[in-house]
């Protein structure tokens, strides 16, 4: 008789995680809530997994939590796909990686044969349980979307008396995951689904993050001017930059959220073809730094603050002005802001070819 447990988001999930881990280690199947109905989680090395896979109509994917997992199977990812796997999980998303996967030799031959009939697929369903469970599992596992709304419906298909299930009640099954297929230098969306194409574009874009103190003067100017310059070089509106592969942001090490840009910064940006009227400050955090490809600080002090507060998050900051700090114009007049903006624009000329090519 399968074991069915109830999911309660207000209760410590550590016991559920322990039970699922023990089930996986023992080779049992687990039925868990996902983002398109329930999913079946299986240990590919276990006896009986091939039979359980045969009972389900959908092809299995490998449960993955980060961009390094495909490399363990001998597969290479382009930079945009590595960004997607680093930023996108968990999500109603399947990432397909063509190439010959090196499935572990100790997995039963029928399982390896089933997986080898099509390119490797990677998946991490969006549900609070997976956010906790996936990093805690220390083995490659297979995940299968059943697109069924209840635990009972999945267990009826599996016919596995040893299965463990976590029920979150009836789940919606109207949507399907977006399927993204890796190409030699990027990706293509091979099936549209619950993650919009625009979101995929943002998740795979190069993120450039400018850092200053309050995120009202220098870093907003750098963000706005960089957007204007990039849009001009790429021949597109500013709001299309993420679709063209670059997403420009800014934040402050001592920022209070939602403060507007300084009036002088707005005025000078307008003179130079940038728009800061809708800018609102944000405080830097580890998540933002970890998502960034380039972190550009205005001063050594900003770089040191990031290193101290977030020692393991994101790339090493670089200074906008090379080896020189950019003075804060706050409290000064328009002429000081104009000099600051001209300095920013001159140094951005060094970075832009790096971000989009010559």
Name the nearest CA neighbour of 217 among 141, 142, 302: 302
For the question of residue 328 being annotated catalytic, the response is yes
How far apart are the C-alpha atoms of 199 and 205, rounded to whole Å? 10
Contact (CB, 8 A) for 314 and 287: no
| Dihedral angle sign, alpha carbons of residues 85, 200, 42, 116 | negative
The H or E element that residue 246 is part of is strand 246-252
Residue at token pair 């063209």: 244
HSE of 239, CA atoms in CB hemisphere, 13 A: 2
Dist. CA 178–CA 35, nearest whole Å: 11
**Which is catalytic among the residues 52, 218, 294, 321?**
218
The CA distance from 286 to 166, in Å, is 31
Which of 212, 217, 321, 340 is an active site residue? 212
Give the active site residue among 293, 328, 338, 345. Answer: 328
Q: What positions carry a catalytic annotation?
A: 212, 218, 328
């Amino acid at each position: 008789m399968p074991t069915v447990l109830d999911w309660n988001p207000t209760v410590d999930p550590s016991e559920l995680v322990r039970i699922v881990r023990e089930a996986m280690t023992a080779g049992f199947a687990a039925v868990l809530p996902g983002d398109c109905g329930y999913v079946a989680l299986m240990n590919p090395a276990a006896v009986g997994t091939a039979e359980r896979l045969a009972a389900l109509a959908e092809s299995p994917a490998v449960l993955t939590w980060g961009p390094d997992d495909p490399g363990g199977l001998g597969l290479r990812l382009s930079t945009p796909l590595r960004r997607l796997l680093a930023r996108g999980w968990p999500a109603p998303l399947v990432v397909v990686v063509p190439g010959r996967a090196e499935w572990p030799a100790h997995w039963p031959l029928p399982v390896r044969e089933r997986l080898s009939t099509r390119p490797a697929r990677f998946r991490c369903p969006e549900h609070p349980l997976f956010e906790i469970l996936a990093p805690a599992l220390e083995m490659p596992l297979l995940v299968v979307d059943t697109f069924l709304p209840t635990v009972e419906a999945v267990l009826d298909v599996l016919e596995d008396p040893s299965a463990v299930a976590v029920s979150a009640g009836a789940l919606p099954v109207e949507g399907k995951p977006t399927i993204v297929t890796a190409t030699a230098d990027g990706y293509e969306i091979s099936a549209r689904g619950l993650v919009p194409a625009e979101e995929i574009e943002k998740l795979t874009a190069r993120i450039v993050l400018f850092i200053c103190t309050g995120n009202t003067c220098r870093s907003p100017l750098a963000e706005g001017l960089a957007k204007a310059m990039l849009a001009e070089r790429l021949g597109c509106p500013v709001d299309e930059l993420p679709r063209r592969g670059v997403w420009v942001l800014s934040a402050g090490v001592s920022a209070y959220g939602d403060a507007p840009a300084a009036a002088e910064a707005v005025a000078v940006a307008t003179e130079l073809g940038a728009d800061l009227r809708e800018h609102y400050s944000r405080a830097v955090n580890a998540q933002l730094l970890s998502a960034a490809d380039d972190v550009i600080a205005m001063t050594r002090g900003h770089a040191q603050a990031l290193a101290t507060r977030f020692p393991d998050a994101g790339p090493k900051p670089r200074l906008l002005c090379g080896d020189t700090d950019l003075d804060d114009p706050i409290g000064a007049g328009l002429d000081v802001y104009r000099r600051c903006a001209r300095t920013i624009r001159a140094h951005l000329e060094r970075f832009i070819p790096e971000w989009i090519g010559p």
